[in-house]
Amino acid sequence: MTLLDVENLWVKFPSRHGVFDAVRGVSFTLGQERLGIVGESGSGKSMTGRAILRLIRPPGIVTADQISLEGEDLMQKSEREMRDVRGQRISMIMQDPKFSLNPVMTIGDQIIEAYRMHNSASKSEAYKKSLDMLNAVSIRDPERVMRAYPHEMSGGMGQRIMIAMMLIPNPQILIADEPTSALDVSVQRQVLSIMDKLVTDRGMGLIFISHDLNLVADFCDRVLIMYAGRIVEVCDADKLHDAQHPYTRGLLNSLPRLDAPCDRLEVLKRDPEWSKTPSVSARI
Amino acid sequence: MTMLDIQNLNVWFGHGRDRVDAVKGATFSVDRGDSFGLVGESGSGKSTILRAVTGLAPDWSGSIKLDGTELAGQREKAFYKTVQMVFQDPYSSLHPRHSVDQVLGETLYLHGFKDIDTRVVKLLDDVGLGGKFRFRYPHQLSGGQRQRVAIARALAPEPEVLLLDEPTSALDVSVQAEILNLLVDLRTENKLTFLMVSHDLSVVGHMCERLAVMKDGEIVEIMEVEALRKMQATHPYSQELLAASV
């Protein structure tokens, strides 16, 4: 079943030196699966995620043949209608919990607000629901956390709180923009397994944006590899290590490996042809 | 021969009730020309050890010996001619309103070099940037280029020891490979001794010969990289860390 269908998405930023194309003609579909988007910084992966939620502000320009969520075209919606989509139907987890939680509101108030915004529930009901949600993301002593402010939390806890807050309205699609890159390796696995469990239990679609190839290969079902605003290759995550495109190969080979020591790491040689060839479609 | 010898190092911040012990009884030594890695999660005190060596952490006890001489109190100028540090974030470690020429020129001037002009050009060549970057400002450089400038600055006084604090964690994997190759080359050319901090075991495995695993301010295990490759960690925490990164 297709949840989201994106066709020919462009994101442009006019500047003094002409128009800069951040995303150039990207097409993909998302079902009830875990879709990974990987690429270097500046390859347009985060912009793709933001464009789906129409979060790109002027002077940025977003054009697309369609971005349809279960048949409804998001491009045609007004700002007011978009507000019902954001959070309720598509949620986004941002990269750094330090900057995405409100520093002057307690965590409890923020989660309750997120829940009551989309559901008509009494305060005590919302409080109970928030506690359950914090339990679901394995936070110990949730009552204390509900009363705490974001600066009292560690990075890993902050990110789990963000996940709790984004999942409490029960959206159909979750967009996670580098959810674990600010975290330690040991905490990373923990946060990912929590996210994985919640996504599978609820049958959501997940778009997982990351620059970490190994992580994506382990965690996702299907992977899009982006370079200079275009999708250069689409492959199944378990076959990522047999990828064909020279860019993907270059990225994989440039990682140091514990099991295969070498004197010099392979350096990526960029071919100007890569940015000229049209985007590969990832629609099914 | 031992270049850097650290015995029973304690570092703490604050005092009284607010005292935090960041490093507790760390002991290790690095031979001349060796490369030693420190790994562990954030807050385990690995960067604090580097800061204590350079004199950036005011409260510490124990003994730090550099090339046989005990370090104490304010570091002398000669110390910074032997030991230099490369910081984690190339976006904040360069002065935004100083050009590359000023950054390198000032360092050379402070260390009493006379032929500054030729040395700046040579330094830029050494780190693979070339003369055309000489009069640029940091905002005109990419992350990888900035980190090269930071490395050039650290190399300017012709040091013997380089302290590397997560030199590639702010960079993309493709750029990380370039910087790691550069560091390996510089080490063989200039016979440098490295003390490198990283949370990425595979990076430490690539760069170092020996490493120490840290947890909550204590060194739980010191091992050879060979043992790391064969997954022969003895302490349960290092085993856990190893399992999480393969």
pLDDT in tens, B142-183: 888 889 999 999 999 999 999 999 888 777 888 888 889 989
Contact between residue A203 and residue A228 where contact means Cβ atoms under 8 Å apart: no
Q: How many H helices and E strands in chain B?
A: 9, 10
- pLDDT at position A200 is 86
Final residue belonging to a domain, choices A117, A137, A170: A170
Same domain flag for A164 and A201? no
Residues 193-212 (A) with a CB less than 8 A from some CB of B:
211-212
DSSP string, A156-210: HHHHHHHHHHHHTT--SEEEEESTTTTS-HHHHHHHHHHHHHHHHHHT-EEEEEE
The answer to whether residue A178 sits within a structural domain is yes
* Cβ within 8 Å, pair B41-A187: yes
User: Are residues A186 and B244, on separate chains, in Cβ contact within 8 Å?
Assistant: yes
In sequence order, what are the residues at sequence separation of 6 or more whose Cβ sits closer than 8 angstroms to the Cβ of residue A269?
A250
CATH code where residue B153 lies: 3.40.50.300
The number of residues in chain B equals: 246
Q: Show which of A170, A190, A210 is a domain's final residue.
A: A170
Same domain, A189 and A81: yes
**Ramachandran quadrant class, A256 (left: phi over 0; alpha: psi -120 to 50; beta: rest):** beta
Q: Kind of pairing, strands A61-63 and A90-93?
A: unpaired
Q: For every one of its 284 residues, what pLDDT tens digit does chain A have, with 9 covering 90 and above?
A: 788 999 999 999 998 888 888 899 899 999 888 999 998 888 888 889 899 999 888 889 999 998 998 888 888 888 899 988 888 889 998 877 777 888 899 999 999 988 888 888 888 989 998 998 888 887 878 888 888 888 888 777 888 888 888 888 888 899 998 887 777 777 778 788 888 888 888 888 899 998 888 888 888 899 999 988 899 889 888 888 888 888 888 888 888 887 777 777 888 777 777 777 887 877 77
Nearest partner of B207 among B196, B219, B221, judged by Cα: B196
Sequence-ordered alpha helix ranges (H) in chain A: 45-52, 79-85, 97-100, 107-118, 123-136, 142-147, 155-167, 185-202, 213-219, 246-253, 272-276
Predicted local confidence at residue A175, as pLDDT? 92
A31 contact partners, CB below 8 Å, separation of at least 6: A1, A2, A3, A205, A284
Q: What is the mean pLDDT of chain B?
A: 88
Q: Hey, of B44, B174, B214, which one would you mutate to test binding to chain A, going by the most A CBs within 10 A of its CB?
A: B174
DSSP state for residue B233 in the 8-state scheme: -
Residue at which a domain ends, from A145, A170, A195: A170
> Would the CB atoms of B202 and A40 count as touching at under 8 Å?
no
pLDDT at position B104, please? Answer: 93
Residue of B35, B88, B172, B180 to mutate, interface with A, max A Cβ within 10 Å = B172
**Residue A94, in any domain of the structure:** no
Instruction: Clarify whether residues A25 and A127 are in a common domain.
Output: no
Q: What is the value of ipTM here, to two decimals? A: 0.73
Instruction: Give backbone dihedrals phi and psi of B235, rounded to 5 degrees, phi first.
Output: -75, 140
Q: What strands, in cross-sheet order, belong to the sheet with B60-66?
A: B20-31, B2-13, B60-66, B69-70
At residue B10, the pLDDT reads 93
Whether residue A131 is found in the same domain as residue A145: yes
Say yes or no: A68 and A104 in one domain: no
Contact A186 B181 (CB under 8 A): no
pLDDT over threshold 90, residue B194: yes
Question: Do A104 and A85 lie in a common domain?
Answer: no
Residue A131 belongs to a domain: yes
Contact A255 B244 (CB under 8 A): no
User: Residues A129, A164: one domain?
Assistant: yes
Min Cα–Cα distance to chain B from A246, Å: 13
Q: Which of B35, B21, B29 is nearest to B64 (CA)?
A: B29
**Tens digits of residue pLDDT in B205-229:** 889 999 999 988 899 999 998 888 8
Q: Is residue A124 part of a domain?
A: yes
Task: Tell me which residue range forms the domain holding A80.
Answer: 1-89+174-284
What is the nearest CA distance from A254 to chain B, expressed in angstroms?
6
Please give the pLDDT value at position B170. Answer: 75
Domain count for chain A: 2
**What is the domain extent for residue B14?**
2-245
How many percent of chain B have pLDDT more than 70? 100
Tell if the CB–CB gap between B241 and A255 is shorter than 8 Å.
no
Measured between beta carbons, which residues in chain B are less than 8 angstroms from residue A255?
A: 173, 177, 202
A159 and A273 in a single domain? The answer is: no
Kindly state whether residues A62 and A133 are assigned to the same domain: no
Question: Is A14 found in the same domain as A62?
Answer: yes
Contacting residues of A for B203, CB less than 8 Å apart: 256
The number of distinct structural domains making up chain B is: 1
pLDDT, tens digit, 9 for 90 and up, residues B9-37: 999 988 887 788 889 999 999 999 899 99
d(CA B165, CA B169): 9
| Cα separation values, A196 from A144, A187, B60, Å | 26, 14, 44
Per residue in B31-82, pLDDT (tens digit) is 998 999 999 887 788 888 999 999 888 889 999 998 888 888 788 888 899 9
Residues A73 and A210 in one domain: yes
